[in-house]
A and B are shown apart, each in its own frame.
Chain A
């Protein structure tokens, strides 16, 4: 009896997951249809004339290796800096209590409230003044301070017992050592989560690359993708195939970090 129920639960779960992911499956399947079949009605779910031509065109039209390299550089560097900055700041916000820290928290929260879209032109002025224009660093530096990251780490460190710090202090560790030796290592799942977020944000970001870059040799994948939407029409076939291609690296990274989150066993040493 229990077995039957178990199987039923599994079937339901997988069915749910498939419905959930269906739009993505649809996207992938469509990328193998030719331009004429893409717009056939009645619709076809599976491509009738399976073709790789869209991928070939995408490959020909764009210097995908170059763009992937640029995007990867921006993403990796920005993610490393983001993780370090956010965990330091989140730690300070959670584990020290000074008045100015509360103020800082509110200030940082305020940064999420002015969308980049509406302060684009002042932001560019700053970027240019710092000499970051037309450099990949221009897509990195303005993005590394993220409230979501700081917030995430703060909320996590709040649930870490203070005894850990106190006992280390008694052992004579400096505040810096407490952070690097004890606190930073135990927040692995949170670091992995933040890394996934940051990776996803930077990989899919187009606003900062748009503002910071003007040299086609420095373009990122998202900028290339955007050129496919013209004034009047969208080049669907190439757009779909390029979108699928740009998804692959980030999916791989995701699977790697997923293990980091899931394998963490926090039950010992840290209270619930």
Chain B
């Protein structure tokens, strides 16, 4: 990193900084994309949040009243808290599961590893809606598979759909199941880069498997872990289509998370202005979370 800074500093002295021009050229497509497909719609979204737009004709400027109403809305806080809870539980579970599978599947010593890999990867190929539908069959109360097995074994059935804790668990399980594959692939990619020589050298020096894992593997996975966690947190806050198909936010509102809340107010109640305000608040929360995380990670790498 230091070397790079020096090089960059030296470059800054030049009249025409070709290196910076190249860097800019490399980023240009993404910059354009960012401006057109993010900044432009986001500005419109901010504008909506200051109006009483209902998705059709009505659109009057109402100032900050949507935000004021939002901050007084107890449903909003409950939903936010629930979403935090989902994130706090699902992100660590997802992280451990995907790292575990990643370690397991990057080994070449197991026979039939290719088949194993395909089996474990498979869920990520399903669309979110299919994931929700599939698990609905498993967790159904009247004719779901798990309750059928419990009943056959003479055990009491679990009220997956009507007990709010059980329903919460189903969303965690289905969420982990479907999201785990993505992160696992990222870990495998990173594990593939660990130089075998380094591991061999350490083993020759008498390091056991645990020490190798702790002192070589984990530090190597740090940049990737940072990314996995930050993206997992963001996507856990955005969980929507899968939960909507699986529990439809129920029982009551026990599994209604942020995006579903925004979506129902925005679309089924035609309060686009109010829903936009909620989106902006969510956006700011996520922005702060990511900023804090980036700072922490920067500090650690110093």
Contact = CB atoms under 8 A, between A and B. Distances in A.
Q: Do chains A and B touch in the complex (CB under 8 A)?
A: yes
B16 interface: no
A88 to B, nearest CB: 4
A144 B197 CA distance: 38
B111 A10 contact: yes
Interface string B143-156: 10100100010000
A271 B44 CA distance: 47
Interface in A154-179: 155-156, 158-159, 162, 166, 174-176, 179
Contact of B193 (A159, A243, A255): A159
Interface residues of A, number: 94
A222 B189 contact: no
A88 B29 contact: yes
B36 A126 contact: yes
B27 A101 contact: yes
Interface in A64-88: 85-86, 88
Given A26-B138, A179-B26, A254-B125, A108 B231 contact: no
28 contacts: A14-B112, A21-B119, A23-B123, A23-B134, A24-B126, A27-B134, A41-B148, A43-B148, A91-B26, A104-B30, A110-B38, A115-B238, A118-B259, A118-B276, A118-B279, A119-B45, A119-B279, A125-B44, A155-B223, A155-B227, A156-B189, A159-B220, A162-B4, A189-B193, A204-B127, A226-B129, A270-B195, A272-B220
Given A112-B231, A267-B196, A118 B262 contact: yes
A18 B119 CA distance: 7
A21 to B, nearest CB: 5
B36 A261 contact: no
Contacts of B43: 122
A12 to B, nearest CB: 11
Nearest to B178: A23
How many chain B residues sit at the interface, stated as a range, is 35 or more
Contact of B120 (A20, A96, A130, A189): A20
Given A89-B27, A92-B27, A112-B231, A266 B192 contact: yes
A210 interface: no
Interface in B6-22: 8, 18-20, 22
Contacts of A43: 143, 145, 148
A111 interface: yes
Q: Which 7 A-B pairs have the closest CB atoms?
A: A145-B33, A204-B127, A122-B44, A122-B41, A272-B195, A175-B22, A92-B26
Interface stretch (B74-82, B88-96, B160-168, B180-188): B180-188
B223 to A, nearest CB: 4
Contacts of B276: 118
Contacts of B134: 23-24, 26-27
Interface in A100-141: 101, 104, 106-115, 117-119, 121-123, 125-126, 130
B40 A126 contact: yes
B216 A272 contact: yes
Contacts of A121: 44, 48, 55, 272
Interface stretch (A46-54, A55-63, A190-198): A190-198
A193 B38 CA distance: 25
Interface in A196-227: 196-197, 200, 204, 206, 222, 225-226
Contacts of A241: none
B44 A144 contact: no
Contacts of B275: 118
Contact of A21 (B38, B123, B182, B220): B123
Given A150-B30, A250-B125, A272-B194, A96 B4 contact: yes
Given A109-B290, A117-B259, A119-B45, 13 more contacts: A14-B116, A27-B137, A39-B143, A96-B19, A114-B279, A122-B41, A130-B36, A151-B231, A175-B22, A193-B186, A193-B188, A247-B126, A258-B118
Contacts of A261: 185, 188-189, 192
Interface string A240-272: 000100010011001100100110111100111
B207 interface: no
Nearest to B301: A158
Interface string B185-209: 1101110111111100000000000
Nearest to A157: B223
A204 B131 CA distance: 12
Given A10-B111, A159-B223, A30 B189 contact: no
